[in-house]
Amino acid sequence: MNSHRTITGMSPEPLSASGRGSEKLSLPTLQSKMKCDPEGYESELHLIYNQFKSSLELFKQQADLGFKSVSGIGNDPAVAKDLGDRAMFLAHVTPFYPTHLAHFPAQLAEFLSSSARTLPSGLRLHVAQALILLMNRKMVDMGDNLALFMELQTYGDKALRKLAYSHLVHSIKRMNQKHKNEVKNRALQNVLFEMLRQEDETKAKRALIMLRELHQRKVWFDERTANAICTACFHPSSRIMIACLSFLLDYEKFEDDDSDASSSEDEAPHTPQLVLNRESIYKAHHQGTIASKKKKKAKLQRAMRSMKKQQRLSSEKSNSNYHTPLNHLKDPQGFAEKLFSRLQTCNERFEVKMMMLKVIARTIGLHRLILLNFYPFLQKYIQPHQRDVTSLLAAAVQACHDMVPPDAIQPLFKQLVNQFVHDHSRPEAIAVGLNVTRELCLRIPLLMTEDLLQDLALYKKSHEKAVSIAARSLIGSGRPTNPKARPKAYGEVNVLSNVPGVELLEEDDGNEDGDDADEASLSGTDDDLDHDEMVASSDDEDNQIANSDSGSEEDSVVAEDVDSDGSIDDNDSDVSGDEDDEEDEDEERMNPTTMMPKIVELE
């Protein structure tokens, strides 16, 4: 098989295909043709592979000698670019020539591990990309090259560091996406844990950053990873210790930033396209053709998966404190004691000491530990003029729980009240002191005495709104635990012995009986009045009949007699009426019951 190949220097451009005369092919074109017909381009593969190996040996020899010649190949960008292009070309065609390029991945990894520091940055990046391509195609195991990619992050090349870091994070995340392979995870974790324990600051820092990222992404959030991150607080390097402390303190903040970034990336493909209701479910199963039903069912399934993911994310956000590494410590008491001893003996700046103090307080609060020496250490910092005093007070509150004996916190409590709550202090300091006092008493109620509460309660009359509100909240918080210390302002509590309002029902029953008797008496008087009216009407009728029988001559005489009789009768009735009134008045004077006011009833 005749082949005409023309190679100018080391340039891979002018390659001719075997059996095709003088046809010139570039590497990308030859790559596509090799994928279509691997057997027809084996000679070109051997040629390019041999050129790659010869260039590789030259770069290795230069790296072993430890110098860079002014006219050497190391300073020639064209030669470095050609070697990088050949490495990428061979990485692309390796799956189609597994026997011919069986040793190619190992040669790349060895070349990077031995000569990476002396290589030009562009060539180093190309070779790393070729190795990543082989790892993505399962031609190289990630566990064998994890240490190499962690080493590449320490070379000071920003582009290479970013490439290696992102590749490792996404590869481990993709490996644990469907199910967790504990064997592979444990092997990879051992490599990172070993790097984290090394005294080399750069390697330990990169290992810590990798573990932190995987823990935040909920890929490795088991106890082994959490304890490895926490043990970085005892690293000899101050930078590693500070990085670990800041991660433990700002875990929720880092988690929120990561969730925001991931939500912005995944917002478009994960938004539900269909609202779940009865109509849409019915249409997906009963209306339309088979193809349309299939599409509708797929939309429903996507919407359901999106809703489940949103529910899971919301539940994780609400319980984000569960995943913090401090919550998964195997020996929290030993961790707190060891970190506290380092705090007492270290010569770090004040900000670092504050971070250590906060981590200790948070560990004590999470695991309800007993560390009695911690509270006297805090006591000397409880001053209104102290720098970051609010953070110190928050740490003091966080380190208190119901398992701590009150005698251990009593000096700290007195220091707080004496330094913050007095008449010569500023209103802001008084308000802070009252609020911290309230929080301490909520956690340890036995700290508050009756006399102290009476004194602090006087601040509720302060003209400063913050002070009065803080005093009232202190009074209100103390009543459930110790009601006798501060009784209510309006006397004792009335304990009910019967149902309220029963006496009103009894009065209503009595009034109903009285109303029935009054109605009966009123009905009797009405009957008497009707009988009198009937008698009077019958007398009038008799008089009219008698008058009609008498003559007309006597009418005038009778009328006069009647008028005279009527006047006499009226006088008689008036006299008799006056006498009756006098008798009634005498009886009323003699009877004391008549002095009561009379009840006038109206019909």
Q: Are residues 280 and 143 in the same domain?
A: no
Given a cut of 90, whether residue 366 has pLDDT beyond it is: yes
Q: How far apart are CA 188 and CA 144, in angstroms?
A: 9
Give the range among 134-148, 153-167, 308-322 with minimum mean pLDDT.
308-322
Residue 447 in contact with residue 375, Cβ under 8 Å?
no
Judge whether 334 lies within some domain.
no
CA distances from 479 to 108, 110, 451 (A): 74, 73, 14
Given a cut of 50, whether residue 97 has pLDDT beyond it is: yes
Judge whether 193 lies within some domain.
yes
Find the domain containing 276 and state its range.
270-314
Across the range 585-596, mean pLDDT stands at 48
Higher pLDDT, 366 or 178: 366
Given a cut of 70, whether residue 280 has pLDDT beyond it is: no
Given a cut of 90, whether residue 419 has pLDDT beyond it is: yes
Q: How far apart are CA 363 and CA 255, in angstroms?
A: 19
Taking Cα atoms as reference points, which of 266, 178, 172 lies closest to residue 215?
Answer: 172
Helices and strands in the chain, H and E counts: 24, 2
Tell me what pLDDT residue 24 has. 53
Q: How far apart are CA 596 and CA 525, in angstroms?
A: 23
Tell me what pLDDT residue 487 has. 60
Q: How far apart are CA 437 and CA 431, in angstroms?
A: 10
**Residues 493-512 pLDDT 10s:** 666 777 878 788 878 777 76
Give the range among 47-56, 288-297, 427-436 with minimum mean pLDDT.
288-297
Residue 361 in contact with residue 398, Cβ under 8 Å?
yes
Question: Considering the entire predicted model, what is its pTM?
Answer: 0.66
Q: Which of 53-67, 417-431, 491-505 has the highest mean pLDDT?
A: 417-431
Q: What are phi and psi of 426, to 5 degrees?
A: -70, 155
Provide the number of structural domains found in the chain. Answer: 3
Tell me what pLDDT residue 164 has. 93
Judge whether 405 lies within some domain.
yes
Judge whether 564 lies within some domain.
no
Q: Are residues 139 and 279 in the same domain?
A: no
Higher pLDDT, 313 or 10: 313
**Residues 192-239 pLDDT 10s:** 999 999 989 999 999 999 999 999 888 998 899 999 999 999 999 999
- Mean per-residue pLDDT of the chain: 76
Q: How far apart are CA 503 and CA 499, in angstroms?
A: 9
Across the range 160-168, mean pLDDT stands at 94
Burial of residue 436, with CB atoms counted within 10 A of its CB: 0-12 exposed, 13-18 middle, 19 or more buried: buried
Higher pLDDT, 416 or 156: 416
Q: Are residues 473 and 405 in the same domain?
A: yes
Residue 48 in contact with residue 89, Cβ under 8 Å?
yes
Judge whether 157 lies within some domain.
yes
Taking Cα atoms as reference points, which of 13, 2, 3, 94 lies closest to residue 51?
Answer: 13
24-25 and 15-16: which strand pairing? antiparallel
Instruction: Answer with the one of 466, 485, 504 that is the final residue of a domain.
Output: 485
Given a cut of 50, whether residue 10 has pLDDT beyond it is: no
Cross-strand pairs, 15: 25
Residue 415 in contact with residue 376, Cβ under 8 Å?
no
Tell me what pLDDT residue 548 has. 46
Given a cut of 50, whether residue 486 has pLDDT beyond it is: yes
Q: Are residues 203 and 55 in the same domain?
A: yes
Q: Are residues 125 and 257 in the same domain?
A: yes
Instruction: Answer with the one of 455, 485, 515 that is the final residue of a domain.
Output: 485
**Residues 315-340 pLDDT 10s:** 555 555 567 899 999 999 999 999 99
Q: How far apart are CA 375 and CA 340, in angstroms?
A: 11
What's the DSSP call for residue 102? Answer: T
pLDDT band at 488 (very low <50, low <70, confident <90, very high): low
Taking Cα atoms as reference points, which of 446, 264, 235, 254 lies closest to residue 342?
Answer: 235
What is the share, in percent, of the chain residues with pLDDT greater than 90? 35
Across the range 526-533, mean pLDDT stands at 50
Q: How far apart are CA 393 and CA 210, in angstroms?
A: 33
Around Cβ 379, how many Cβ atoms within 10 Å?
Answer: 16
What's the DSSP call for residue 488? Answer: -
Q: Is 444 helix (H, G, I), strand (E, B) or coil?
A: coil
Angle between helices 121-136 and 158-175 (to 10 degrees): 10
Tell me what pLDDT residue 499 has. 81
**How many residues appear in the chain?**
603
pLDDT band at 598 (very low <50, low <70, confident <90, very high): very low
Q: How far apart are CA 480 and CA 588, in angstroms?
A: 65
Give the range among 30-34, 90-94, 489-493, 580-584 with minimum mean pLDDT.
580-584
Q: Are residues 134 and 278 in the same domain?
A: no
Tell me what pLDDT residue 343 has. 94
Given a cut of 80, whether residue 22 has pLDDT beyond it is: no
Instruction: Answer with the one of 458, 485, 512 that is the final residue of a domain.
Output: 485
Q: What is the largest CA-CA distance in the chain?
A: 180
**Residues 107-130 pLDDT 10s:** 899 888 888 888 888 889 999 999
Q: Dig out the tokens for 288 from the structure.
A: 């339309």
Q: Are residues 256 and 304 in the same domain?
A: no
Residue 17 in contact with residue 23, Cβ under 8 Å?
yes
Q: Are residues 376 and 258 in the same domain?
A: no
Across the range 6-34, mean pLDDT stands at 57
Residue 108 in contact with residue 93, Cβ under 8 Å?
no
Q: Dig out the tokens for 219 from the structure.
A: 């890929």
Q: Are residues 149 and 244 in the same domain?
A: yes
Neighbouring residues of 358: CB distance < 8 A, sequence distance ≥ 6? 249, 391, 395
Q: How far apart are CA 435 and CA 397, in angstroms?
A: 10
What is the dihedral sign for C-alpha 6, 7, 12, 18?
positive
Given a cut of 80, whether residue 68 has pLDDT beyond it is: no
**Residues 180-195 pLDDT 10s:** 888 999 999 999 999 9
Q: Are residues 297 and 405 in the same domain?
A: no
Radius of gyration of the chain (CA): 51
- Helices (DSSP H) in 490-552: which residue ranges? 502-549
DSSP codes joined into one string, 6-60: ---TT-SSSEE-TTSTT-EE-HHHHHHHHHH-SGGGHHHHHHHHHHHHHHHHHHH
Q: How far apart are CA 80 and CA 84, in angstroms?
A: 6
Tokens 């308000």 identify what position? 431
Judge whether 518 lies within some domain.
no
Tell me what pLDDT residue 213 has. 92
Residue 88 in contact with residue 130, Cβ under 8 Å?
yes
Tell me what pLDDT residue 75 has. 54
Tell me what pLDDT residue 552 has. 43
Q: Are residues 304 and 411 in the same domain?
A: no
Q: Are residues 422 and 298 in the same domain?
A: no
Q: How far apart are CA 498 and CA 501, in angstroms?
A: 9
